[in-house]
Chain A
Amino acid sequence: GENVEQHPSTLSVQEGDSAVIKCTYSDSASNYFPWYKQELGKRPQLIIDIRSNVGEKKDQRIAVTLNKTAKHFSLHITETQPEDSAVYFCAAVNTGGFKTIFGAGTRLFVKA
Protein backbone atom coordinates (compact mmCIF):
# COMPACT_ATOMS: atom_id res chain seq x y z
CA GLY A 1 0.00 0.00 0.00
CA GLU A 2 0.91 3.65 -0.11
CA ASN A 3 3.22 4.91 2.59
CA VAL A 4 5.26 7.85 3.82
CA GLU A 5 8.70 7.29 5.30
CA GLN A 6 9.99 9.89 7.75
CA HIS A 7 13.54 10.35 9.07
CA PRO A 8 14.99 10.66 11.57
CA SER A 9 12.73 9.22 14.26
CA THR A 10 14.54 11.25 16.92
CA LEU A 11 16.51 14.46 16.53
CA SER A 12 18.36 16.34 19.22
CA VAL A 13 19.81 19.81 18.52
CA GLN A 14 21.27 22.68 20.49
CA GLU A 15 19.19 25.82 20.84
CA GLY A 16 19.91 28.10 17.90
CA ASP A 17 20.91 25.28 15.54
CA SER A 18 18.87 24.19 12.53
CA ALA A 19 16.79 21.02 12.32
CA VAL A 20 15.86 19.13 9.17
CA ILE A 21 13.27 16.36 8.90
CA LYS A 22 12.88 14.43 5.66
CA CYS A 23 9.96 12.48 4.20
CA THR A 24 9.54 10.29 1.15
CA TYR A 25 6.14 9.31 -0.25
CA SER A 26 5.10 6.59 -2.65
CA ASP A 27 1.72 7.70 -4.07
CA SER A 28 2.32 9.64 -7.29
CA ALA A 29 -1.19 11.10 -6.99
CA SER A 30 -0.25 12.99 -3.79
CA ASN A 31 -0.45 16.73 -4.31
CA TYR A 32 -0.71 18.24 -0.84
CA PHE A 33 1.94 17.87 1.88
CA PRO A 34 1.19 19.18 5.37
CA TRP A 35 3.37 19.16 8.45
CA TYR A 36 1.83 18.82 11.90
CA LYS A 37 3.40 19.57 15.27
CA GLN A 38 2.27 17.70 18.36
CA GLU A 39 3.44 18.97 21.72
CA LEU A 40 3.41 16.61 24.65
CA GLY A 41 -0.16 15.81 25.71
CA LYS A 42 -1.68 18.01 23.01
CA ARG A 43 -3.37 17.51 19.68
CA PRO A 44 -1.48 17.71 16.36
CA GLN A 45 -1.68 21.13 14.74
CA LEU A 46 -0.80 22.21 11.23
CA ILE A 47 2.34 24.36 11.11
CA ILE A 48 3.03 24.60 7.38
CA ASP A 49 1.98 22.92 4.16
CA ILE A 50 2.97 22.85 0.51
CA ARG A 51 1.12 21.96 -2.66
CA SER A 52 2.58 20.19 -5.65
CA ASN A 53 2.77 23.27 -7.85
CA VAL A 54 5.25 24.90 -5.46
CA GLY A 55 8.86 23.90 -4.72
CA GLU A 56 9.42 25.79 -1.51
CA LYS A 57 7.44 27.68 1.11
CA LYS A 58 8.64 29.65 4.10
CA ASP A 59 6.95 31.00 7.21
CA GLN A 60 9.30 32.81 9.57
CA ARG A 61 11.68 30.18 11.00
CA ILE A 62 10.14 27.19 9.27
CA ALA A 63 10.33 26.21 5.62
CA VAL A 64 9.28 23.25 3.56
CA THR A 65 10.75 22.05 0.27
CA LEU A 66 9.23 19.62 -2.22
CA ASN A 67 10.88 17.57 -4.95
CA LYS A 68 8.03 15.88 -6.83
CA THR A 69 10.34 14.03 -9.19
CA ALA A 70 12.12 12.31 -6.32
CA LYS A 71 8.97 12.21 -4.16
CA HIS A 72 10.81 13.91 -1.29
CA PHE A 73 9.77 16.75 0.95
CA SER A 74 11.52 18.24 3.95
CA LEU A 75 10.88 20.49 6.92
CA HIS A 76 13.56 22.98 7.92
CA ILE A 77 13.51 24.81 11.24
CA THR A 78 16.12 27.51 11.75
CA GLU A 79 17.23 29.14 15.01
CA THR A 80 15.57 26.42 17.04
CA GLN A 81 14.11 27.26 20.43
CA PRO A 82 13.14 25.00 23.37
CA GLU A 83 9.45 25.51 22.51
CA ASP A 84 10.12 23.80 19.16
CA SER A 85 10.52 20.54 21.11
CA ALA A 86 7.67 18.29 19.96
CA VAL A 87 6.80 15.43 17.65
CA TYR A 88 6.54 16.45 14.01
CA PHE A 89 4.51 14.49 11.47
CA CYS A 90 4.72 14.82 7.72
CA ALA A 91 1.83 13.69 5.55
CA ALA A 92 0.89 13.20 1.93
CA VAL A 93 -2.65 13.70 0.60
CA ASN A 94 -3.91 12.32 -2.69
CA THR A 95 -5.84 14.34 -5.24
CA GLY A 96 -9.17 13.13 -3.90
CA GLY A 97 -8.15 14.46 -0.53
CA PHE A 98 -9.76 11.81 1.58
CA LYS A 99 -6.76 9.75 2.42
CA THR A 100 -3.96 11.37 4.33
CA ILE A 101 -0.94 9.13 4.83
CA PHE A 102 1.14 10.19 7.81
CA GLY A 103 4.80 9.53 8.49
CA ALA A 104 5.72 7.81 11.75
CA GLY A 105 6.83 11.07 13.34
CA THR A 106 10.07 12.72 14.46
CA ARG A 107 10.63 13.58 18.08
CA LEU A 108 12.64 16.81 18.18
CA PHE A 109 14.50 17.81 21.33
CA VAL A 110 15.94 21.32 21.50
CA LYS A 111 18.47 21.63 24.31
CA ALA A 112 18.80 25.02 25.97
Chain B
Amino acid sequence: DVKVTQSSRYLVKRTGEKVFLECVQDMDHENMFWYRQDPGLGLRLIYFSYDVKMKEKGDIPEGYSVSREKKERFSLILESASTNQTSMYLCASRDTFYEQYFGPGTRLTVT
Protein backbone atom coordinates (compact mmCIF):
# COMPACT_ATOMS: atom_id res chain seq x y z
CA ASP B 1 0.00 0.00 0.00
CA VAL B 2 1.47 3.32 -1.09
CA LYS B 3 2.09 5.74 1.69
CA VAL B 4 2.62 9.44 1.23
CA THR B 5 3.15 11.43 4.39
CA GLN B 6 3.44 15.15 5.04
CA SER B 7 5.34 16.71 7.91
CA SER B 8 2.43 18.66 9.43
CA ARG B 9 -1.37 18.55 9.24
CA TYR B 10 -1.77 22.11 10.50
CA LEU B 11 0.69 24.97 10.50
CA VAL B 12 0.38 28.60 11.55
CA LYS B 13 3.09 31.02 10.45
CA ARG B 14 3.61 34.77 10.46
CA THR B 15 3.94 36.94 7.38
CA GLY B 16 7.53 37.01 6.17
CA GLU B 17 8.57 33.73 7.75
CA LYS B 18 10.29 31.03 5.72
CA VAL B 19 8.14 27.90 5.69
CA PHE B 20 9.17 24.33 4.89
CA LEU B 21 6.61 21.66 3.98
CA GLU B 22 7.97 18.15 3.65
CA CYS B 23 6.60 15.17 1.81
CA VAL B 24 7.84 11.59 1.90
CA GLN B 25 6.73 8.61 -0.20
CA ASP B 26 7.71 5.00 0.30
CA MET B 27 7.02 3.48 -3.13
CA ASP B 28 10.15 4.52 -5.02
CA HIS B 29 8.11 6.74 -7.36
CA GLU B 30 10.14 9.01 -9.59
CA ASN B 31 7.48 11.70 -9.99
CA MET B 32 6.31 13.90 -7.14
CA PHE B 33 4.03 16.92 -7.09
CA TRP B 34 2.99 19.82 -4.89
CA TYR B 35 -0.53 21.18 -5.25
CA ARG B 36 -2.44 23.93 -3.61
CA GLN B 37 -6.15 23.35 -2.96
CA ASP B 38 -8.54 26.27 -2.58
CA PRO B 39 -12.36 26.19 -2.56
CA GLY B 40 -13.81 26.54 -6.05
CA LEU B 41 -10.38 26.35 -7.69
CA GLY B 42 -9.66 22.66 -7.43
CA LEU B 43 -6.07 21.48 -7.28
CA ARG B 44 -3.47 23.75 -8.82
CA LEU B 45 0.04 22.53 -9.54
CA ILE B 46 2.82 24.50 -7.90
CA TYR B 47 5.90 22.41 -8.80
CA PHE B 48 6.70 18.89 -9.80
CA SER B 49 9.82 16.75 -9.88
CA TYR B 50 10.53 13.84 -12.22
CA ASP B 51 13.81 12.78 -10.64
CA VAL B 52 16.22 13.61 -7.85
CA LYS B 53 17.40 17.21 -8.15
CA MET B 54 15.09 17.75 -11.14
CA LYS B 55 12.15 20.14 -10.87
CA GLU B 56 9.72 21.93 -13.12
CA LYS B 57 7.39 24.84 -12.49
CA GLY B 58 3.71 24.18 -12.47
CA ASP B 59 0.93 26.68 -13.00
CA ILE B 60 1.43 28.83 -9.88
CA PRO B 61 5.13 28.72 -8.85
CA GLU B 62 5.45 32.35 -7.77
CA GLY B 63 6.49 32.68 -4.14
CA TYR B 64 7.46 29.01 -3.87
CA SER B 65 10.54 26.89 -4.41
CA VAL B 66 11.18 23.16 -4.05
CA SER B 67 13.95 20.78 -3.19
CA ARG B 68 14.43 17.11 -4.01
CA GLU B 69 17.71 15.81 -2.67
CA LYS B 70 16.49 12.23 -2.20
CA LYS B 71 14.06 10.23 -4.28
CA GLU B 72 11.58 9.72 -1.47
CA ARG B 73 11.46 13.31 -0.23
CA PHE B 74 10.08 16.42 -1.91
CA SER B 75 10.04 19.71 -0.02
CA LEU B 76 8.04 22.85 -0.71
CA ILE B 77 9.51 26.12 0.51
CA LEU B 78 7.72 29.41 0.97
CA GLU B 79 10.58 31.89 0.93
CA SER B 80 8.63 34.68 2.63
CA ALA B 81 5.14 33.64 3.62
CA SER B 82 2.27 35.95 2.74
CA THR B 83 -1.39 35.88 3.75
CA ASN B 84 -2.45 34.91 0.21
CA GLN B 85 -0.53 31.67 0.66
CA THR B 86 -2.97 30.54 3.34
CA SER B 87 -4.29 27.31 1.84
CA MET B 88 -4.35 23.52 1.91
CA TYR B 89 -1.16 22.05 0.44
CA LEU B 90 -1.23 18.54 -0.98
CA CYS B 91 1.75 16.48 -1.99
CA ALA B 92 1.44 13.54 -4.38
CA SER B 93 3.60 10.89 -5.94
CA ARG B 94 2.78 9.14 -9.20
CA ASP B 95 3.22 5.59 -10.39
CA THR B 96 4.10 4.43 -13.89
CA PHE B 97 0.40 4.11 -14.80
CA TYR B 98 -0.16 7.79 -13.97
CA GLU B 99 -2.17 7.24 -10.79
CA GLN B 100 -1.38 9.89 -8.22
CA TYR B 101 -1.23 9.08 -4.50
CA PHE B 102 -1.87 12.03 -2.25
CA GLY B 103 -0.61 12.87 1.18
CA PRO B 104 -3.04 13.92 3.94
CA GLY B 105 -2.47 17.62 3.29
CA THR B 106 -1.08 20.51 5.32
CA ARG B 107 -3.45 23.31 6.18
CA LEU B 108 -1.26 26.40 6.35
CA THR B 109 -2.47 29.64 7.87
CA VAL B 110 -0.34 32.75 7.44
CA THR B 111 -1.23 35.60 9.80
Contact = CB atoms under 8 A, between A and B. Distances in A.
Interface of A: 1, 6, 9, 32, 34, 36, 42-46, 49, 89, 93, 97-100, 102-105
Interface residues of B, number: 23
Tell me what chain B mostly uses at the interface: helix, strand, loop, or mixed: strand
Given A1-B59, A98-B56, A45 B42 contact: no
Given A44-B102, A49-B99, A104 B40 contact: yes
A36 B43 CA distance: 11
B99 A99 contact: no
B90 interface: yes
Contacts, number: 49
B36 to A, nearest CB: 11
B100 A46 contact: yes
A104 B68 CA distance: 28
Query: Which of A9, A34, A89, A98 gathers most chain B CB within 10 Å?
Result: A98
A43 B105 contact: yes
A9 B40 CA distance: 8
B42 A103 contact: yes
Query: Which of B48, B100, B105 gathers most chain A CB within 10 Å?
Result: B100
A34 B99 contact: yes
Contacts of B35: 102
Interface in B34-78: 35, 40-45, 48, 50, 56, 58-59
A44 B43 contact: yes
B56 A44 contact: no
A49 B44 CA distance: 20
B31 interface: yes
B43 A99 contact: no
